[in-house]
A and B are shown apart, each in its own frame.
Chain A
């Protein structure tokens, strides 16, 4: 197995008695697009800021590109190989777009002027405007341009689609695809399920500071099923009789029973047949349903 670009072990951050992130074992593979999904306040930004060495973990440890995140000197070196688009996109407001680009380029030997030119055009950013006077969407695009102008090993984005209109989101997703095709590992947080579902290879779900799911979208599409069944009668022991491996949750209503399965759908349907289910239907489950289920149960 190729070395992970991000790896954490029991990573956690508490503020007093509040646990923002707890016992996090996160692995991000190289060459892939990994989405970091969670509700607002789930701990996504805290995790990302720990990975970047901006805040110190209170428990556990982690590495990014093989370097310890709590090692200050390593973390300075890391910033040359990791590009980051922050949630608030804080930029120097008094500069013009062009000045900020020139200023930022001086820090990075791997700067690509041709990419800057192309993205300025694609994003429709006005070079002479002061950053301060840009709309939120424009600022996001500028922050994105500054990150993409480099050829980082790892690109981390915190809620990059916030404040973008649908066209802006398309541009963003396309840029992520391009970066990945050039060999950059992409790790981005989001609470927008639709954009994640399409573009990501892997999805990690964070809820209340804990990792509640880490799965490839291929596996998810392949094996997650909702199985609806009708039974002639629903005795109390039926639920426990249906507890086959892979059953995530069971809901009942009248004679109907609905099972969410993460795998083994065939075996579960077989069991239901043995238990005299009258009608059995299995349907694929979207990421939205899985996400809501994970967030509600935990």
Chain B
């Protein structure tokens, strides 16, 4: 087929030969970020809009419905398990950032230790959230509040789970001896994503649990 042959102009000089020749050794514009970094930034941008839509839903319904509580059971409060969960997630953001700093200095051993800590804290958050669900005393279909509560925290929990898997893959790759001071895109991408998930939780914790 035509597209597997070498370019050859039909009218003398191929048009491409009239163009300046690139012998710089580079095929692309030098950019500050590489493709992977741009991709994760855009992906998180899209995710921010996803949660923006969920928060819009929350505030819209919160404003419409005077009795903002579940039909059965108690309205969840911030004391106790949610607070512990918050502290876990905030700490895990710190360990994640320290892991990125470690690998930037080329210290893979320290990065691995910090990633293990992050995975444990993230998994603890998901477990704590699941345990909290069982103790609430209401189900997603028990009124508007219950539906909103489970949907918002559920989507966030799913994102935390995704983040834990993402970081676990980084950990596995670290254990395999990958990542150096110069090449560690996945770790940085995971950290951007993880901070995003953390910030969303601060928003959820404040609106749902503290303000209520």
- Does B associate with A? no
